[in-house]
Structure 1
């Protein structure tokens, strides 16, 4: 499907990046990070509830060919984050149609403008099990990009289709696309809140392997993907090197996923997401852990 060109850190001639969903939590951090890294940024959002550091903030709809075409003026690469980020935030029809239409439109307009690099936000939920309404478990741990899918909600389905759209864009327009499967991505303060809730009931995150990623690492992964020279369409799983809650991984598995096969031994709080592909393709490794002074932060 694609060719690996090796990990490269450098802007590859990219000067201006279009960020859709620029007013979302990841979008704002990405805009800030790209600006700090020396890129010019065009932001596209349905509205702006927060101030934006993008030097060209635009109001528009990622589903609109006209809006996206205008936003692509002078752009060298695209970061597509615009989406309804949870199945509870709309009807199934709204969530699926919005997410799939936005991703396809952004890829199609980028293809017609001969943009060579697009990074899209996929999700750990693209394989369907974490949000599944049925009593199902992952086929194995650690989770990787090839884990068997079992999808029963519109959001997870939309992310799976987005990954297929990325493959289509590569075949149709020759766009190099990297789909990043984000787990729970929050800033450090918000991660502590999620960790406290998960400590009370670890079962709620068992099907996603208690995975998380510090927002700062999320931005680093985005920039690495935008700067990559890898050809083709790629899906990359991301996560911190450890799990969200302060317990040993093997103990949690014995208690909450005793029948799920474990493909490699784990020690301490080892992550249950295999990030080998991101490491090999992008040279990306997470830097941040919630467990640096986690105990005092959660209790204060």
Structure 2
């Protein structure tokens, strides 16, 4: 594998992924509806991930695909626009890649794929730590689109034999932006309670992407990601007692332990996060590398 197509190449994760893949030695084809930033992609293309023609042309000579193109929040469009855009783009990319015989696709799913974090109803997760099999309760178009994307990945595996890894990203930001979100969450911890105050440093997000692209795992897999700790500088047990007292806890927590089970990421991808918002800048949390 030497050449990777990145859709959504001008998004915040997309730009970092293009740079990270190039630093790892890959040639990168970028596909974006438009470019508001200067792209470092070896071949930046303007096109729509929903277009069979645009994607087929972008796939020429490509060995693997990283699909990030999406409307990333339900507030950025009508429910119809969010759902139709995200589902159509993901299915089209998977179908074009499958028909082209590309063996590996990584798609961006979300911690919201199980529906509870953005649910308009008074619901809570079935348990903590969250894992890939937690019971779904979906009441918004964005969460539904990500759940359908994961089903589309399974279909692509069964139909074309395409190996697909769907990464369930939590809040993924640069270190500087994480501090801003942490300050907001400190003022109102309830705003992130239903996603377990989960986050991931953008640098770890790119490491996870590369690990997924390079994984030899066959089939279609959903993989949950998060830092080893929570975003807020408080004891996890205290937050649970105050904001999620009715949610069963499947394992004991200590200190600022995270509430997303990342066992599958470790076992399937060999991935473990390095960075924590609570450490000195750039201090390595774990010596485990991909």
Shorter-chain TM-score range: over 0.9
Report the Cα distance in structure 2 between the residues aligned to 1:258 and 1:125, rounded to whole angstroms.
21
* Runs of 4+ with deviation above 4 angstroms: none
Provide TM-score, normalisation by structure 2: 0.96
Partner in structure 2 of residue 20 of structure 1? 7
1:231 aligns with 2:213: no
1:74 aligns with 2:25: no
| 3-state SS of 1:266 partner | coil
Cα deviations by residue, 1:87-113 (Å, 9 ceiling, x for unpaired): 000000000000000000000000110
Partner in structure 2 of residue 48 of structure 1? 35
What are the ranges of 5 or more consecutive residues in structure 1 without an aligned counterpart?
1-13, 295-300
1:269 aligns with 2:259: no
Residue 165 (structure 1) shift: 0.1
Residue 292 (structure 1) shift: 1.2
Residue 293 (structure 1) shift: 3.8
Cα deviations by residue, 1:98-146 (Å, 9 ceiling, x for unpaired): 0000000000000110000000000000000000000000000000000
1:107 aligns with 2:94: yes
Partner in structure 1 of residue 245 of structure 2? 258
Report the Cα distance in structure 2 between the residues aligned to 1:77 and 1:232, rounded to whole angstroms.
15
Q: 2:166 aligns with which of 179, 182, 191?
A: 179
Partner in structure 2 of residue 128 of structure 1? 115
Report the Cα distance in structure 1 between the residues aligned to 2:184 and 2:269, rounded to whole angstroms.
33
Higher relative contact order (CA 8 A, sep 6+): 1
What are the ranges of 5 or more consecutive residues in structure 2 without an aligned counterpart?
282-290
Residue 251 (structure 1) shift: 0.4
Report the Cα distance in structure 2 between the residues aligned to 1:146 and 1:225, rounded to whole angstroms.
19
| 3-state SS of 2:261 partner | coil
Partner in structure 1 of residue 189 of structure 2? 202
Partner in structure 2 of residue 89 of structure 1? 76
Report the Cα distance in structure 2 between the residues aligned to 1:71 and 1:174, rounded to whole angstroms.
20
Q: 2:144 aligns with which of 142, 154, 157?
A: 157
Provide TM-score, normalisation by structure 1: 0.93
Report the Cα distance in structure 1 between the residues aligned to 2:218 and 2:164, rounded to whole angstroms.
8
Report the Cα distance in structure 2 between the residues aligned to 1:146 and 1:250, rounded to whole angstroms.
23
Report the Cα distance in structure 1 between the residues aligned to 2:219 and 2:280, rounded to whole angstroms.
40
Q: 2:52 aligns with which of 44, 49, 65?
A: 65
Cα deviations by residue, 1:64-94 (Å, 9 ceiling, x for unpaired): 0000000001000000000000000000000
Report the Cα distance in structure 1 between the residues aligned to 2:42 and 2:164, rounded to whole angstroms.
25
> How many residues of Structure 1 are paired with residues of Structure 2 in the alignment?
281
Partner in structure 2 of residue 31 of structure 1? 18
